[in-house]
Each structure stands twice: as C-alpha cells, then as structure tokens.
Amino acid sequence: MTTLTAKLIWTKLNEDTRFLGKPVSIREAARHFFEAMPVVLADFLDRPVTVTNILEAKIVFLRYTIDNGICGATLSGFSDAFLRGLDKDFLLEIMRVQMDETLSKAEILLADLPTIIDQSGLSDQEILLNPDSGLNDEARRLYQSGELTVGGLLTVQPYIPAILSRFHS
C-alpha cells in the first residue's frame, strides 16, 4: 500500500469532485488541515476499515480541525463583499457552535453504534459496500479484498467528510 503523505492527500483531494465542488478559497484555507491527516490520524492508519473505525477517525479529525481554527480559516476564504458586512466574529461563533454540535452528535452516534448497526440488521460490509456509503469504487474494491486499512482508505480517498456522511447526518 502507498505511504500516506501530505502531498498524496492534497493530490488525491484535488481528484475528488466532492472536494473540487468547494470554492478554491475554502479548499486552500483548509489545505493544511487535510495535509495534517497522516499525523493527526496516525493511531488509525493500520486499523482495518470498519464503520466504527471510520467514525472514530472522523471524530478525531473533526476535533483537530475545530481545536486548530478551521472555522477561522474557512471564514477567511470568504471575501468581505461576499459576507456583505456581516460581523465575522458572530459568524465565527455560529460556525464553531455548529461544528461542536456536529461533533457531539457524532460522539453520541459512536457510543450507540454497535446497537444501531445490530438493530439495522446490516453488517459493516453491507453498509460500507452500499453506494451511499460515500466510498469511491477503488475504496470499495480494496475493502472487498479485505486489504483496506484506514490509512489505505485515506491514500485512495482522503476527503473523509464525504465518507459515511449519510449514515450520521
């Protein structure tokens, strides 16, 4: 498997249409957060891909981004003309509250995940191989082969906001 590096993360992100759908200024503002993935998610890289491991990694990454100023970085990607005189401090606080709420919901989901999966009657495999899982074709193929780790997933599809987003939104 390919070694996960900041350069690889950025290259792969710029091949993902979901990421490319974001404004250039926002993508650039978030660049260093995504490029930090190999370090931030180091404890997850060798774990097998499961719904639980993906959700745990997403929570760790989201916490890292919140704690390290993603809201301010994202807001800086908007022009003053776009913001039309809105108070940036107020907008920043709204963004932080929304991200904290998202994180709280994800943590609650993670705590209840075994029960939720059990009650759904679906296996991890059925969830992850479903086209709505957010995994791209290459990631699904690697997962089916039994060779996909979280690090491997990030080498083929680092835009983790899109992975399992329908499952926990």
Residue from 2, 137, 109, 131 nearest 51 by CA: 109
**Whole-number pLDDT of residue 158:** 87
Domain count, the chain: 1
Q: Is the residue at 69 inside a domain?
A: yes
- The position carrying tokens 């100023």 is 69
Whether 42 maps to a domain, the answer reads yes
Q: Per residue in 61-108, pLDDT tens? A: 999 999 999 888 888 877 788 888 888 889 899 999 999 999 999 899
**Inter-CA distances, 64 with 87, 103, 125, 143, 144, Å:** 25, 11, 28, 26, 30
1, part of any domain: no
The answer to whether residue 1 scores a pLDDT higher than 70 is no
According to the model, what pLDDT value does residue 69 have?
92
For residues 19 and 28, give the distance between their C-alpha atoms in angstroms, rounded to a whole number: 11
In sequence order, the 6+-apart residues with CB closer than 8 A to the CB of 55 are 106, 109, 110, 113, 164, 168
Q: How far is CA 57 from CA 24, 83, 110, in A?
A: 25, 32, 11
Quote the distance between the C-alpha of residue 132 and its chain's center.
Answer: 15
Q: Is it the case that residue 163 has pLDDT exceeding 80?
A: no
Quick check: 58 and 105 in contact, CB under 8 A? no
User: Per residue in 19-65, pLDDT tens?
Assistant: 999 889 889 989 999 999 999 999 999 999 999 999 999 999 999 99
Q: Is there a domain that residue 51 lies in?
A: yes
In the beta sheet, which residues pair with residue 48?
Answer: 149
Domain of residue 107 covers: 6-168
Q: At 2, is the pLDDT very low, low, confident or very high (cuts 50, 70, 90)?
A: low
The two structure tokens encoding residue 56: 């745990």
pLDDT digits (tens, 9 = 90+) for 129-138: 988 888 889 9
